[in-house]
A and B are shown apart, each in its own frame.
Chain A
């Protein structure tokens, strides 16, 4: 069965520093991987996805993620963090049906000025 793990409940980064939010997955077959961001009391916003192709995927707001098949990881990265990046980040993998997603527990990202 498909599963997603986000090993860190919270990540603290100083503004201007690079950030990484970790995600590992377990799937049978080729993975469809996603990152979403949630701001307080808001719905989720799509950041980026990996379906096929280049392992480095670029997304919204300067974020990117690297697909690593051997390590079954899909870590979210940004070269220089902004305070406004502070939010809850969810990694997800497509489930058995075409439109269902399996969600990670979420990682709270805190960017300090």
Chain B
């Protein structure tokens, strides 16, 4: 199946700094990528839908200025957590869909963010 690479897997940062997480589709073009946040023992919470070449669509309650999403190419989307605080600590997962598919998503391995 299609491969989605997410980097970094783990990141620890100080409060107030910004962290960038990359999501790449390695062997297919992804017009749409999704960013999720997962709290311990909970399901995935969709944060935003990222479309190549256009602004991301954020879910209700997700701060656009806090979680900056850029989808500059058909194979790369980035999530930047700006001015991170301890409450932003979480597991962030990206997913991508193939250009013409049936809704099947391919997921990155996830990024564990810990803000001190």
Residues of A within 8 A of B (CB): 32, 34, 36, 41-46, 49, 51, 90, 94, 97-101, 103-106, 108
Contacts and interface: CB of A to CB of B under 8 A. Distances in A.
Contacts of A51: 102
Nearest to B106: A46
Given A49-B104, A99-B103, A43 B93 contact: yes
A89 B106 CA distance: 15
A108 to B, nearest CB: 8
A108 B43 CA distance: 11
Interface residues of B, number: 26
B105 A46 contact: yes
A42 B102 contact: no
Contacts of A94: 102-103
Chain B facing A: main interface SS: strand
Contacts, number: 62
Given A32-B102, A46-B105, A99 B93 contact: no
A106 B109 contact: no
B1 A99 contact: no
A103 B103 contact: no
A90 B43 contact: yes
B52 to A, nearest CB: 12
B42 A42 contact: no
Given A90-B44, A94-B102, A101-B103, 8 more contacts: A32-B102, A43-B6, A46-B1, A46-B104, A98-B103, A99-B97, A99-B103, A100-B34
Contact of B110 (A34, A42, A46, A101): A42
